[in-house]
Protein backbone atom coordinates (compact mmCIF):
# COMPACT_ATOMS: atom_id res chain seq x y z
CA UNK A 1 0.00 0.00 0.00
CA UNK A 2 1.58 3.35 -1.01
CA UNK A 3 2.16 6.01 1.60
CA UNK A 4 -0.17 9.00 1.25
CA UNK A 5 1.18 12.26 2.59
CA UNK A 6 -0.83 13.60 5.53
CA UNK A 7 -1.38 16.92 3.75
CA UNK A 8 -3.10 15.17 0.84
CA UNK A 9 -5.49 13.35 3.18
CA UNK A 10 -6.28 16.57 5.02
CA UNK A 11 -6.91 18.46 1.75
CA UNK A 12 -9.34 15.83 0.50
CA UNK A 13 -11.23 15.84 3.79
CA UNK A 14 -11.59 19.62 3.71
CA UNK A 15 -12.93 19.54 0.14
CA UNK A 16 -15.55 16.96 1.09
CA UNK A 17 -16.62 19.04 4.09
CA UNK A 18 -16.86 22.26 2.06
CA UNK A 19 -19.04 20.53 -0.53
CA UNK A 20 -21.30 19.08 2.15
CA UNK A 21 -21.77 22.49 3.77
CA UNK A 22 -22.61 24.19 0.45
CA UNK A 23 -25.13 21.50 -0.47
CA UNK A 24 -26.84 21.79 2.91
CA UNK A 25 -27.35 25.54 2.44
CA UNK A 26 -29.28 25.30 -0.86
CA UNK A 27 -33.03 25.62 -0.13
CA UNK A 28 -35.16 22.93 -1.75
CA UNK A 29 -38.56 23.31 -3.42
CA UNK A 30 -41.37 20.90 -4.25
CA UNK A 31 -42.95 20.91 -7.71
CA UNK A 32 -46.63 20.16 -7.17
CA UNK A 33 -48.95 19.00 -9.94
CA UNK A 34 -52.58 20.09 -9.45
CA UNK A 35 -55.57 17.97 -10.47
CA UNK A 36 -58.23 18.87 -12.99
CA UNK A 37 -60.89 17.01 -14.97
CA UNK A 38 -59.52 17.97 -18.40
CA UNK A 39 -56.57 15.57 -18.64
CA UNK A 40 -56.41 11.78 -18.86
CA UNK A 41 -54.20 9.43 -16.88
CA UNK A 42 -52.35 8.73 -20.14
CA UNK A 43 -51.60 12.45 -20.52
CA UNK A 44 -50.28 12.74 -16.95
CA UNK A 45 -48.13 9.64 -17.35
CA UNK A 46 -46.76 10.75 -20.72
CA UNK A 47 -46.03 14.28 -19.50
CA UNK A 48 -44.26 13.25 -16.29
CA UNK A 49 -42.09 10.70 -18.10
CA UNK A 50 -41.22 13.29 -20.76
CA UNK A 51 -40.43 16.15 -18.35
CA UNK A 52 -38.91 14.29 -15.40
CA UNK A 53 -37.85 10.92 -16.77
CA UNK A 54 -39.69 9.07 -13.98
CA UNK A 55 -40.51 5.38 -14.47
CA UNK A 56 -43.97 4.31 -15.64
CA UNK A 57 -44.78 2.79 -12.26
CA UNK A 58 -43.77 5.99 -10.43
CA UNK A 59 -45.83 8.27 -12.67
CA UNK A 60 -48.83 5.93 -12.49
CA UNK A 61 -48.73 6.23 -8.69
CA UNK A 62 -48.43 10.02 -9.05
CA UNK A 63 -51.42 10.11 -11.44
CA UNK A 64 -53.49 8.12 -8.93
CA UNK A 65 -52.46 10.43 -6.08
CA UNK A 66 -53.20 13.67 -7.95
CA UNK A 67 -56.61 12.26 -8.92
CA UNK A 68 -57.41 11.17 -5.35
CA UNK A 69 -55.90 14.04 -3.36
CA UNK A 70 -55.99 16.93 -5.82
CA UNK A 71 -52.22 17.40 -5.81
CA UNK A 72 -48.99 15.45 -5.86
CA UNK A 73 -45.31 16.29 -5.41
CA UNK A 74 -43.65 15.28 -8.67
CA UNK A 75 -40.09 16.40 -7.86
CA UNK A 76 -38.01 18.24 -5.27
CA UNK A 77 -35.07 20.35 -6.36
CA UNK A 78 -33.50 23.81 -6.12
CA UNK A 79 -35.66 26.86 -6.90
CA UNK A 80 -34.47 27.63 -10.42
CA UNK A 81 -34.95 24.07 -11.65
CA UNK A 82 -38.29 23.79 -9.84
CA UNK A 83 -39.55 26.91 -11.60
CA UNK A 84 -38.30 25.62 -14.96
CA UNK A 85 -40.04 22.27 -14.50
CA UNK A 86 -43.26 23.95 -13.32
CA UNK A 87 -43.19 26.09 -16.48
CA UNK A 88 -42.64 22.97 -18.61
CA UNK A 89 -45.72 21.36 -17.05
CA UNK A 90 -47.79 24.48 -17.65
CA UNK A 91 -46.71 24.73 -21.28
CA UNK A 92 -46.91 21.02 -22.16
CA UNK A 93 -50.10 21.51 -24.17
CA UNK A 94 -53.62 20.18 -24.31
CA UNK A 95 -54.58 16.52 -23.97
CA UNK A 96 -55.53 15.50 -27.53
CA UNK A 97 -57.47 12.55 -26.08
CA UNK A 98 -60.09 14.84 -24.51
CA UNK A 99 -61.97 17.10 -26.94
CA UNK A 100 -62.86 19.82 -24.42
CA UNK A 101 -59.28 20.10 -23.09
CA UNK A 102 -57.96 23.57 -23.91
CA UNK A 103 -54.47 23.61 -22.40
CA UNK A 104 -51.86 22.24 -20.06
CA UNK A 105 -52.19 21.15 -16.45
CA UNK A 106 -51.36 23.52 -13.60
CA UNK A 107 -48.46 23.22 -11.21
CA UNK A 108 -46.92 25.22 -8.42
CA UNK A 109 -43.63 25.51 -6.57
CA UNK A 110 -43.45 25.68 -2.79
CA UNK A 111 -40.52 25.56 -0.37
CA UNK A 112 -39.78 22.36 1.51
CA UNK A 113 -40.52 22.89 5.18
Q: What's the sign of the alpha-carbon dihedral 104, 51, 77, 65?
A: positive
Give me the helix-helix angle, 79-90 and 41-52, nearest 10°.
140
How confident is the model at residue 25, as a pLDDT? 80
How confident is the model at residue 7, as a pLDDT? 45
The rounded distance, in Å, linking the Cα atoms of 84 and 109 is: 10
Q: What is the pTM of this model?
A: 0.78
Neighbours of 64 (CB within 10 A): 13
Domain ranges (residues) in the chain? 26-111
| pLDDT tens per residue across all 113 residues of the chain | 455 444 444 445 555 555 566 556 889 999 999 999 899 999 999 999 999 999 999 999 999 999 999 999 999 999 999 999 999 999 999 999 999 999 999 999 999 98
Are 91 and 51 within 8 A, CB to CB?
Answer: no
For the chain, what is the HEC assignment?
Answer: CCCCCHHHHHHHHHHHHHHHHHHHHCCEEEEEEECCCCCCHHHHHHHHHHHHCCCHHHHHHHHHHHHHHCEEEEEEEEHHHHHHHHHHHHCCCCCCCCCCCCCCCEEEEEECC
Give the CATH number of domain 26-111; options: 3.50.50.60, 3.30.1390.10, 2.40.50.140, 1.10.10.10.
3.30.1390.10
Amino acid sequence: MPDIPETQILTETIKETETDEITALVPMYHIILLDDDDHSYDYVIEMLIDIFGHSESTVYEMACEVDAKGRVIVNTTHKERAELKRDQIQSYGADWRISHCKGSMSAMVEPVE
